[in-house]
Amino acid sequence: MSKLIVKRIYDKDLPAGYRILIDRVWPRGMSKVRAQLDLWAKQIAPSADLRKWFSHDPEKFPEFTKKYRAELDANEATPDFIKSVKSALNDQDVLLLYGSKEQTYNNAAVLSKYLEEKLK
């Protein structure tokens, strides 16, 4: 059974799978060749305003989670994104890749839980 895997795009030895960058901004210093992306889902990332407000502050994470989930629910690109993830999971693991140094309190943590709920 294929699974969703959340990883930092800068990590060494990323596992094989369908690679999706889920940030709105391209990761600093990362070449397109090294990234080896199958999809850059910038339309699924938190809005610029929400990202700037949150600024990876752990105290704001619960509120960020609520606001980001509301953006995902309202985003017309979300249903197609969920379909593409579901389709990719039929064949292989799906890597949700993010650039943040913050590895706990980030959009990938919220998006992976959101997707797990929607894919059930």
- Residue-wise pLDDT tens digits, 17-26: 999 999 999 9
Q: What pLDDT is stored for residue 52 in this prediction?
A: 96
The mean per-residue pLDDT over the stretch 68-76 comes to 98
Instruction: Please state the domain extents for the chain.
Output: 4-118
Q: What pLDDT is stored for residue 83 in this prediction?
A: 97
DSSP codes of every residue in 28-97? TT--HHHH--SEE-GGGSPPHHHHHHHTT-GGGHHHHHHHHHHHHHH-TTHHHHHHHHHHHHTTS-EEEE
What letter represents residue 81's amino acid? F
How much is the pTM? 0.94
1 pLDDT higher than 80: no
Q: What pLDDT is stored for residue 71 in this prediction?
A: 98
